[in-house]
Structure 1
Amino acid sequence: MIVALLNQKGGVGKTTLALHLAGEWATRDRRVTLIDADPQGSALDWSQQRGREGLRRLFGAIGLPRDTLHREAPELYRDADLVVIDGPPRVAALMRSALLAADLVLIPVQPSPLDGWASAEMLALVAEARIYRPEIVARFVLNRCGARTVLARETAEALADHDPPMLRATVGQRVVFAAAAQSGRLAREIDMESPAAAEIAALVSEIDQLGVERREP
């Protein structure tokens, strides 16, 4: 399966989710390759920091901020069980290429009406990609949220009956994610018992239950 985390709005936590999803799958004995398609290269920076800290490599990380992703990602998939794409913000050609490469598109949103409005353009791109690959599966992921806040609850309710739907598992705004980003670690490596580690594990389990399989276009 090729999973792309995409949203044209920046600051929604795509890179954090991409790294933690890749890491969680790797700890479940899956062969994972992460593609950093963001020209900023934050996922690659994390991987390099991990090397400087002397930590073992959990998954391969490759920088491919190019509009040929739809051709290159399937080639990388031949040697992996999963490919995770950390998508670019507001680069239309790259976004379209990542969409055409993906079997599953995850759209991270924060609990804010502005995120809901900003995702409309993203959904239009998903609809466009489905003209060529109608089997693409898409889901919203509620990220950086306080689980008990009114705004998070209202956002979840607003997206509950949406197409695409929202995953049940949500990820909170956790200090441990910032520490993980700086140290080249995963939240589970810092504190296996943390709410952050449990949230990522629940998210991966729910994605696995979707049963999305790779279909060659």
Structure 2
Amino acid sequence: MIVMLANQKGGVGKTTLALHLAGAWARNGQRVTLIDADPQGSALDWSQQRAREGLPRLFGVVGLARDTLHREAPELARDVDHLIIDGPPRIASLMRSGLLASDLVLIPVQPSPLDGWASAEMLTLLREARIYRPQLAARFLLNRCGARTVIARETAETLADHDPPVLATTIGQRVAFADAPQTGRLAFEIDAASPAAREIAVLVDEIDRLRIGRIVA
């Protein structure tokens, strides 16, 4: 399955989520490659930090910030169980290419009046991609949620009847996620019993139950 983390708005936690999804699937014994399609190269920076810390490689990280993703990603996906694309902000041609390559698009949004909706441009790009890939699935994902906040509940309720729908799993505002870029470690490596690690495990389980892929759409 090819999963893209995408939102035209920056700062919504795409890279952190992409890294943790890749790590969780790899921990479950699956072959995973992460494509860093963001010109900022944050996922590549994380991989390099991990190497400097002498930590074992969990999954491959490849820099591929160009608008040929729709041709190159499916080739890379042949050798793995999951290919994850950390998408770029504000680069329409690169975003279009990533969407055309993907089976599932996750759109992280934060629970606030400003972030409760993906940008109109993002949804337009998604509709355009579905002309060529009608089987392309998409889900909103509530990220950086405060514990039991009213605004998180209201955002989830707002998105409940929306297209794309919202995943049931929500991801909290956790110190372990903030520490990942600096340490080269993922939440489950810091503390496998932490709320951050448990939330990612639940998220992976929900995505797996969607049964989305090249054959089962």
Instruction: Specify if TM > 0.5.
Output: yes
> Alpha-carbon deviation of 1:45?
0.3
Which position in structure 1 is the counterpart of 2:15? Answer: 15
> Alpha-carbon deviation of 1:112?
1.2
TM-score normalized with structure 2 length? 0.97
User: What whole-Å deviation, never above 9, does each CA across 1:26-60 have from its counterpart, x for those lacking one?
Assistant: 00111000000000000000001111111110000
Superposition pairs for residues 21-170 of structure 1, below 5 Å? 21-170=21-170
Is the counterpart of residue 206 in structure 1 residue 206 in structure 2? yes
CA distance in 1, matches of 2:24, 2:118: 29
CA distance in 2, matches of 1:159, 1:119: 14
TM-align CA RMSD: 1.1
Letter of the structure 2 residue corresponding to residue 156 of structure 1 = A
> Alpha-carbon deviation of 1:117?
4.0
> Alpha-carbon deviation of 1:118?
4.1
CA distance in 2, matches of 1:214, 1:109: 26
Gaps of 5+ in 1: none
1:125 partner SS:
helix
**Change over 3 Å in CA distance of 1:164–1:118 after alignment to 2:** closer
Letter of the structure 2 residue corresponding to residue 127 of structure 1 = R
2:108 partner SS:
strand
Letter of the structure 2 residue corresponding to residue 69 of structure 1 = L
Q: Is the strand fraction higher in 1 or 2?
A: 2
> Alpha-carbon deviation of 1:116?
3.0
> Alpha-carbon deviation of 1:115?
1.4
User: What whole-Å deviation, never above 9, does each CA across 1:120-155 have from its counterpart, x for those lacking one?
Assistant: 321111110000000000000000011311111110
CA distance in 2, matches of 1:113, 1:159: 12
CA distance in 2, matches of 1:169, 1:44: 27
Letter of the structure 2 residue corresponding to residue 93 of structure 1 = S
- The share of aligned pairs that are identical, in percent, is 77
CA distance in 1, matches of 2:119, 2:148: 23
Contact 2:109 2:118 in 1 (8 A): no
Gaps of 5+ in 2: none
TM-score normalized with structure 1 length? 0.97
1:113 partner SS:
coil
Is the counterpart of residue 184 in structure 1 residue 202 in structure 2? no
CA distance in 1, matches of 2:61, 2:52: 15
Contact 2:107 2:118 in 1 (8 A): no
Contact 2:109 2:117 in 1 (8 A): no
1:208 partner SS:
helix
2:84 partner SS:
strand
CA distance in 2, matches of 1:160, 1:118: 14
Count the aligned residue pairs: 216
1:66 partner SS:
coil
